[in-house]
Every structure is written in C-alpha cells, then in structure tokens.
Structure 1
Amino acid sequence: MPPPPNLDPDAAAIAAAIAATPPMRERGLAAIRHAMETTPLPAGLPVMASTEDHLIDGRWGEIPLRVHRPTPDERAPVLVYFHGGGMCLGSNHSFEPLARHLAHHSGATVVSVGYHLAPESPPPAQFDDAYTATLWTAEHAGELRVDPTRLAVAGDSAGGTLAAAVALAARDRGGPAISCQVLAYPGLDRDMAARSMSQHAQAPILSRDDVLFLNENADAGRGHPDSPYRIPAYAADLSGLPPAIVVTAECDPIRDWGERYAHRLRDAGVQTTHTRYPGTYHGFLAQSDHLARGRLAVAEIGALLRAKFTHPLPF
C-alpha cells in the first residue's frame, strides 16, 4: 500500500522501503524481536560521559536498568525512561538511541528500564517494573549522583502508557515526587473507534491491525484491562498530576488517544504542552537518526525538560 500522501519526504521514503514488510501478525513476536535486537546501533549517537548497567529486584524478577549520563555533573536531573514496543517488544539495547538523544538534549541522566515483556510476563508486570524502577531511582539518587527533586518520567508508545501510569500511581500512593511526565504517541486507551484509527488504519510502522495484535499479546490472555495503571484513559480523575509534555504524530492510528488525554489533563488543571508533529508516523522519535521531524521533536522535548528542571514552576 502506498504511503500517506502527506508524509514528509524522508518519512515517505522509509515508508516506501518497508511497504512490502508483512504485518506484525504474520511476522510474529519472535521474528520482530530478533530483528530489533540484532539491528546495529546507528553511528554518530550522542557520546555519554558514562553508561552503566544495573540489575534491581522486582516482583517479577530482576529488572535491568541502563543509566546514561550525558555529563559527569553531580546531582543532575534524572529522567526515568520506558521504551516502546506494545509491552511485548523492545529493550534497553534496541531503544538506546532514543535514550541517548533524550539525555543529550535534556541534560538529564536517563535511567532506561528494561521491564519484563508480555505475554511471557503477564500484566501487571510491566507497570510493576516501571513503578519499582522509578521508586528505586528516587531512593538511590545519591548512588546515581542525581537530584531526586528533579525526577521526570518519559516513554514512547507503550512506554508513554507506563510513564502516565507511573505518574498516576505516584499521585495515588504518595510518591515518588515526579516533576514532569513525557508521553510520546502513548497507547493510553483501547478505543478502536477513534477517528484516527480509521483515518490511519494502514499507516506505516503501526497499522490498526498491528495495534490489535500487540494488545492481544499485551493482555496475555487476562481479558480486557480495567485498571488505570494499565490503561490510563480509564482514570476518572487526572487532577494533581505532574506537568505533561504530550507528543503525537499526524499519521498514527493511536494519535487521538494521546490528544484526548492531553485535553483531559488540561481540563483537570494539569499544565500540559501538546504538539502534533505533521508529516510523520508512529515511532518517529526512535527514528530521529533518519527523520528530520524526529530530530526536531527530540530537541524540543529536551528544551522543555531543561526549562522544567531549571524552573520548577509549571510551564
């Protein structure tokens, strides 16, 4: 199927190059995982002052963390990052480029969380790991040489879902204190009748059927989720949450999920910055080495985070 006519030229070129790739349902999780984890990291990634791995204890087993420090500064701000992949795909390795770009542009130490994947680890393993890692980061701020009063959470796609869920849980459970939540094209809902679902049902990178396939695996036979810590759109009350940076892509079937959540956050009195990036598709931040719009968006997210870390008043 030809790419959407309104894609940027670089995005359209990638879409055309992958047009013959079978849908996720035909490829299967194992093949997609293998491709993601064996793809070499791109050249020219931002150089970190240090990168180190940690293993922490969690309810579902050890949780791997990868800590990227863009500078050797003591008490740097810290960004706990959850990768995308529909709760079923991805790792600290395959999403390292985005983690490094976020560290570079925000000036924050990035703690990338390798949460357990579904369906092998059924829900709520992914949320439990995300919240546990955020708590651990706050509690081990001295060891990590970061400032726990400037702790933010961020994620793309399913990782954006986890970032929103952690922000909800931190509010409900009294901590840790979160200064900002970054939600990039987040999978916050399950509304398959959303307008963007029909508009972009055959979008590149993520189609409507891909969304269904990933959700089926993410549910791991547990039935339709009802907890807001799994589907943040189900939260009845969004007041009292940290300021939000919400990013959506024009040609993305789940675009409306993120945009409706941004509107609800604003209506609840949460300081919210939302940007819809035209001419691009789901996952474009993770392709910022190839997409000009991705580079722009990561830089703008970084600038917003720097402002938040420097001036703790809401934007």
Structure 2
Amino acid sequence: MNVAHERQAVRDAVVMRVSDITLTTQGRPVPVRLYRPAHPDPAPVLMFFHGGGWVAGDLDTHDSFCRVMCEWAGCAVVAVHYARPPEHRFPRAVEDCYAATEWIAREGADLGLAPSRMAVAGGGSGGGLAAVICQIARDLGGPDIKFQLLLYPLLDCLARNRSREQFAEGFGLTAEKLEGYVSHYLPPGIPRSHPWLSPARADRLDGLPTALIITAGCDLLRDEGRAFARRLKKAGVPVCHKAYAGMCHGFINYPGANPQARRAILLCAEALASHFTEAGTSA
C-alpha cells in the first residue's frame, strides 16, 4: 500500500456500530466501548487498554486507533475504561482490565463476538497492562488469549538502561513525567518490581501468547521493549519486534502527519488479522 492509499485508508476507517456499555463484574461496573466490524457476527475480539501512565488518557484519546483496528483487522474492539488515580490506585487498573477480559471471554458470545479468538493490545502503560493480563490469564487458566500487541510498552518500572538516559528529556514522554505517573499510580508499600507493575520482571515468560512489540527509536521506553522481546524469544514465545527509528513515544497516534505511523498501524492490523485467521482455522 503506498503512502497516499495509507493516508486515505486511515481517514476512511468505518465500523458498523460503536456503543458504550458497562460490564458489571466482581461487584463493580467497568465501562467499555465496543466497536463492531461491518461484517456478520461472530467477530474475533481485541481487548484494548489505553495508555497515559495509568493516570491520563481515556476512551476518546485512542478512539481513532480502535476504529482503524476494527475495520482493517476485521475484529471487534473492546476498549476498557479502567479506574484511575487519585481515587483508584494500583492494582485497580489491572483488576478492571482482567475482569473485563474475563467477562468478554465468558459472555461475549451473547454480544455476537467470538471470544475463542481473542487478542489484547495497548500502548505505553496500556501495553504493560496487556502484557500483565496475558500473564495473569496464563497463571489462572483464564481467557485463552491468542495474541498480544504491545506498542512502545511500559514494562519495567525499575529500568536503568541507555534509552532511559538518552531520551529522558525533550522527546515527549520525559523521565520526570513518567516518574509522576508512577508515583500517582503506586500506593506506599508496593514494590516497583511487582509483576503486575513491571511484567518484564516476572519469574517466567513461557506459555504466553504470540507477540508483536513495536518500539520507537527516540523513546525512553525503547530498550525495555527490546529486552522483553529477547526474553520472550528465549522463553519460546513467538515474537516479532519492529523498531521505528527516529520516532517518539506515542507516534502511532498521529498517522495523519506521519508515514511511519501509518505503516505501523497497517502492520498491527495485518498481524492481528493473520492471527485471528489462524485462530479461526484451528478452532
């Protein structure tokens, strides 16, 4: 697909229906936004967890990405509006995301979805949440997640590496801003090494879903994404790591102004569609 066609496709992303609904799970409500593709049910499902350092961001800030994935990957997208600080600190975001994923896996067929073909995705802190949900599902025998799409993910809150130093200032997400997010999210007494906060520090990474990890060349989170991809491969997990040189954290949110962002979005959609097709064939 050439650049002109990529630009037009991003503008023209169409879904059949978008609806805001509230899942009642574990005795509390979890709001989600459901995007349905323009083809007959049942549709495979992408659970999406937005970024923003667990503190900022919402369903609207990542609406365009969800719409494009819905159409291009031919899947339903369930974007989770997890509870955030200051009212709700760690581990509430993880609990809401996992509860919503469990609910869709259990009840999604009644909504015209195919939970047997499920993937998770997120960017930044949302990418970290997606990685955590995969680990919890594996450990608890929960939802059968087929694929994890991690966009410049926040995976290690104790990371000390070259990119954390090199891009600490002047590249969008700064070290000071990241520290502010972590301090707002994390209550006293919780170690930053906790695997629900730093999934790259989990004791084991075997048995996890296939992964596509996208990193940005000028992002302070770059090196932990690279390291996580290497650890997944070593653990026997199929993984593709795609690095975008010269890009800053969050670049995929600006496809109208950035050809690399459009290409990254296309890669995401193609990877999801391929794995949904494989899941459907093996089901």
Q: Same fold (TM over 0.5)?
A: yes
Distance of 1:104 and 1:194 partners within structure 2: 37
2:40 is matched with which residue? 73
* Structure 1 position 280 matched with structure 2 position 219: no
Identity of aligned residues (%): 35
SS of the equivalent of 1:51 reads: strand
Deviation of the 1:230 alpha carbon: 2.1
Unaligned ranges ≥5, structure 1:
1-42
- Superposed CA offset, 1:1-60 (max 9, x none): xxxxxxxxxxxxxxxxxxxxxxxxxxxxxxxxxxxxxxxxxx946221100111012458
Unaligned ranges ≥5, structure 2:
1-9
2:109 is matched with which residue? 142
Pairs within 5 Å for 1:1-315: 44=11, 46-59=13-26, 61-312=28-279
- Superposed CA offset, 1:136-186 (max 9, x none): 111122222111221001111111011000000000000110000111111
Deviation of the 1:70 alpha carbon: 2.3
Cα RMSD for the two superposed structures: 1.8
CA contact (8 A) 1:54 1:65 kept: yes
Amino acid across the alignment from 2:206: S
Distance of 2:246 and 2:66 partners within structure 1: 23
SS of the equivalent of 1:280 reads: coil
CA contact (8 A) 2:55 2:181 kept: yes
Deviation of the 1:192 alpha carbon: 4.2
Deviation of the 1:262 alpha carbon: 0.7
Distance of 1:203 and 1:99 partners within structure 2: 28
Distance of 1:60 and 1:215 partners within structure 2: 27
CA contact (8 A) 1:82 1:154 kept: yes
SS of the equivalent of 1:251 reads: coil
- Superposed CA offset, 1:109-141 (max 9, x none): 000000011232011100000100101111122
Moved over 4 A (4+): none
Deviation of the 1:260 alpha carbon: 0.6
2:6 is matched with which residue? none
CA contact (8 A) 2:233 2:239 kept: yes
Deviation of the 1:227 alpha carbon: 2.5
- Classify 1:60/1:274 alpha carbon distance in 2 versus 1 (closer, same or farther; 3 Å): farther
CA contact (8 A) 2:46 2:121 kept: yes
- Superposed CA offset, 1:56-87 (max 9, x none): 12458421100011213211111000000000
- Superposed CA offset, 1:86-125 (max 9, x none): 0001111221111112212211100000001123201110
CA contact (8 A) 2:37 2:43 kept: no
CA contact (8 A) 1:119 1:220 kept: no
1:20 is matched with which residue? none
Distance of 1:261 and 1:188 partners within structure 2: 8
TM-score normalised by length of structure 2: 0.91
- Classify 1:217/1:58 alpha carbon distance in 2 versus 1 (closer, same or farther; 3 Å): farther
Distance of 2:170 and 2:228 partners within structure 1: 21
Further displaced range: 270-279 or 136-145: 136-145
Distance of 2:192 and 2:175 partners within structure 1: 19
2:4 is matched with which residue? none
